Structure 1
Amino acid sequence: MSAAPTSADVIVIGGGIHGCSTALHCALRGASVILLEKDHAGRHASGVNAGGVRQLARHVAEIPLSNVSMALWHRIGELVDDDCGFTSDGQVLVAETEEDLANCKARVDDLTLRGFHHEELIDGKELRRLVPAVSESCPGGVISRRDGAAIPLRATQAFKRKAQEQGASIREGVRVEKVSRDGKTWRVATNVGDFLAPRLVNAAGAWADRIAADLGEPVPLEVIAPMLMITAPLPAFIKPVVIMVRRKLSFKQFGNGTVLIGGGYSGRALRDENRTVLDWRKLATNAGTVWDLFPLMRGVPIVRAWAGIEARMPDDLPVFGPSARYEGLYHQFGFSAHGFQLGPGAGAVMAEIIATGRSNVPIDGLGIARFTQQAP
């Protein structure tokens, strides 16, 4: 058996769904790829999130990437030989008040004017048809009917396996210690030796700011620990994923009857220790939202709670695209607790940019220059 390569056309740092997707799409374009991951693929944010495959309620700057990704999710089995547990029963944004509903209408109208038609305003009758268990006081909301959910770790591992099948070298348990420029080549020093490539993708998640800073592109990344809970099984009562206008909630029932409860409440992330600490008061607040909106959930036991380590940017938008400083350097991090759905498409777009220098998919407003360029 030949030794694992130490040089390639592209090195990807980070084995989340974004790193694995970019490795796969680069390999599909004929590039040799080495992916370096300090733990195992999907160990952090990509493997422990809520699994939402959501176009609903995204920032306008993310919608083009999200559109590309959703097309891939709907043929995910063809791409990675695994359906990744993807189901498409829609996602519903619930308005609790008439004011919330008016805000929803304004957003849908704005998206329509911009040429986006995936969000649809619904009244209380349609809301209760889709989500019969929701409180009678809710006047309506918005639905994105092609949305859904998948199983995060399964999806990330599927991208990893498919990338390997296409020739990518996936090196897990390899910790990056320093990145430097060696002529036109990137030298990545690790605990197992050096790796070389003319193109480098920084997809290191909550650790990506350290790589960016070492290369003179510091960013104000916040390390967060989004928390999730899962309940004991209940009889089936809801198909779409539910999120809220006014309060933090992401809510999904699985086929086995268990209900996943999330929504962006964070515990404490200790990234240098590779672990998180839960905040039980915030979890109680999260559970209280479910109590208010879904009376049938009252009294259902919470079986387990956990958190992942994730990167958040100040504007809640990812850092995505070429470096503002170096040729051959690309950034793909800071997805701010809503990057799972973007993984397949972002990998395809990043591979296109690496291979051709451009993409037809607009990524305006996502570049690292928004943080690194000084105002005049």
Structure 2
Amino acid sequence: MAAPDHSAAAIVIGGGLHGSSVALHLARAGVHALVLEKNYVGRHASGVNAGGVRTLARHLAEIPLSLASLALWKDIENLVDDDCGFEQHGQILVAENEADLATLQTRLQTLSAQGYIHEQWLAPSALCERIPAINPSVRGGIMAAENGAADPYRTTLAFRRKAESLGARFREGVLVKRVERVGRQWSVSTETDVFTTPVIVNCAGAWADRIASQLGEDVPLEAIAPMMLVTLPMPHFLDPVVIGSGRPLSFKQRANGTVLIGGGRRARVNRDTNWTELDFHALAEGARVVCELFPHMRQAVINRGWAGIEARMPDDIPVIGPSIRHENAFHAFGFSAHGFELGPIVGKIIADLITEGFTDLPIEPFRIDRFALGNGAAATGDSGR
């Protein structure tokens, strides 16, 4: 029998935002999980992303989850005892040319046919009035007024602290090497210890395919490292987050005046060594897009850049839900560079599956076996990338 500190009602593999959220929601339901994190909480994607709280431009399959998660974000301080730096200034998907304009109009028609009204058209004049610094040649955009941004590292730590206050345990610097079924229990082996639990949750991010493979559920996961740049402080010119439609761009100004520039351009990565190397050619291309959309940014001074390792799936939507092969095993990974906003609701979904046996939200498109079944796309609709 395992020692008391080597057993738990559930073990969560991975201590990023989604793993911490699972631990919190389980603790709220009276289930005290043990979270095993190979580095430290927030080391990779969860702590170094752009912090976008975005329902805008989501894949159709993600929209119900993103809207449900936004409801939790609006009450985030009551959930984790911290406002997480969450601000609602909206997010805008910008059309720069006729092709972008046609794409956005088609999207609005698709959303309307599905009964969604959270994305609204902004005419060019309205867009320029809202963001005077933007290039006046823009052709309009789509806005989600209730969207915004939060501090990713602060948010991840807030979920961890709240989970711990309710009885969850976290162990950092613990690499899970092997997961196997032993009778009615799961045996989770690390480099130095063996833990036992009736329930496991795979939230291992860019390393989650290795855990899934041990369950006989191979997935075509790609480790990616989206890059970010941040400038020195500038005079205030922007409230909403701006997203590019035809070209990759995520652009926002923080309260301290610094400007955060992302959009999915990727660093070189080796997940086995936790190594990333910035691609300066790609960063220069991103900076050029920024300067064309916001001409005054030519005077900006870049302070630093970074990249965090995360998982991308071929259809750009995550794996969320139960194992298909095993009872009491669950997955939440592969958020493909847009998982931050979903963190609160994904934790609740997994906790509900564990404690109640079901969730009210539609998670069928996120089944882990969708690739093995030959379903290269989990649902129809634009990926919103």
Paired amino acid for 1:69: S
The aligned counterpart of 1:306 is 306
| Separation in 2, partners of 1:170, 1:21 | 12
Give 1:276's aligned residue: 276
1:238-260 residue CA offsets vs partner (Å, 9 max, x unmatched): 00000011000000001111100
The structural deviation recorded for 1:296 is 0.8
Q: How do residues 70-81 of structure 1 correspond to structure 2 at under 5 angstroms?
A: 70-81=70-81
1:1-376 residue pairs with structure 2 within 5 A? 5-373=5-373
The CA deviation at 1:29 is 0.5
Deviation, structure 1 residue 98: 2.8
Question: Does the 8 Å CA contact 1:5/1:169 hold for their aligned counterparts?
Answer: no
Give the Cα separation in 2 of the matches to 1:196 and 1:374. 34
Which amino acid counterpart does residue 72 of structure 1 have in structure 2? Answer: L
- CA displacement at 1:14 relative to structure 2: 0.3
Mind listing any 5+ residue stretches in structure 2 that lack a counterpart? 376-385
Once the two structures are superposed, residues 131-150 of structure 1 have per-residue CA deviations (whole angstroms, 9 ceiling, x without a partner) of 11111110101000110000
Q: Secondary structure at the match of 1:292?
A: helix
Change (3 A) 1:10 1:237: same
Check the 8 A contact 1:4/1:169 in 2, yes or no: no
How many residue pairs match? The answer is 373
Report deviation, 1:339: 0.2
Distance (whole Å) between structure 2 residues aligned to residue 217 and residue 269 of structure 1: 24
Could you tell me which amino acid in structure 1 is paired with residue 124 of structure 2? G
Q: Could you report, residue by residue, the CA deviation over 1:20-71 in whole angstroms, capped at 9, with x for unpaired residues?
A: 0000001100112111001111100000001111000000111111111100
Q: Take 1:179 and 1:374, find their aligned partners in 2: how far apart are those partners?
A: 26
Instruction: Give ranges in structure 1 of 5+ residues lacking alignment.
Output: none
Question: 1:357 & 1:310 partners in 2: Cα distance?
Answer: 29
Q: What is the one-letter code of the residue matched to 1:178? A: R
Q: Contact 1:313–1:334 (CA<8 Å) still a contact in 2?
A: yes
Cα deviation code 1:315-359 (max 9, x no counterpart)? 001011001111111110000000000000110111111111111
TM-score (norm 2): 0.95
The residue that corresponds to 2:382 in the other structure is: none
Mapped to 1, the partners of 2:323 and 2:373 lie a distance apart of: 12
Q: What CA distance in whole angstroms lies between the structure 2 residues aligned with 1:318 and 1:148?
A: 21
Distance 1:351 1:243 in 2: 32
Distance verdict in 2 for CA 1:199–1:259, change over 3 Å: same
Q: Please report how far the alpha carbon of residue 372 of structure 1 lies from its aligned counterpart in structure 2 after TM superposition.
A: 2.8
Contact 1:34 1:170 in 2 (8 A): yes
**2 CA distance for matches of 1:215 and 1:97?**
47
RMSD between aligned alpha carbons?
A: 1.2
Q: Tell me how far 1:4 sits from its aligned partner.
A: 6.6
Conserved? CA contact 1:64–1:363, under 8 Å: no
Name the % identity.
Answer: 55
- Displacement after TM superposition at 1:167 (Å): 0.1
After superposing the two structures, state which structure 1 stretch, 107-116 or 31-40, moved more. Answer: 107-116
Counterpart-to-counterpart distance in 2, 1:17 and 1:51: 11
Offset at 1:374? 6.2
- Give the whole-Å Cα distance in 2 for the aligned partners of 1:337 and 1:66: 14
Give the TM-score normalised by structure 1.
Answer: 0.97
Distance in 2, Cα, partners of 1:198 & 1:131: 53
Amino acid at match of 2:244: M
SS at match of 1:118: coil
* Greater mean deviation of Cα atoms: 298-307 or 3-12: 3-12
AA in 1 matched with 2:27: A
Which amino acid is 1:263 matched to? G
The offset of 1:6, in angstroms, is 1.5
**Conserved? CA contact 1:87–1:148, under 8 Å:** yes
Aligned to 2:383: none
Report if the CA contact (8 A) 1:23-1:33 is conserved: yes
Provide the rounded CA distance (Å) in 1 between the counterparts of 2:45 and 2:77.
22
Q: Which secondary structure state, in structure 1, belongs to the residue aligned with residue 62 of structure 2?
A: helix
Separation (CA, whole Å) in 2 of partners of 1:18 and 1:182 = 26
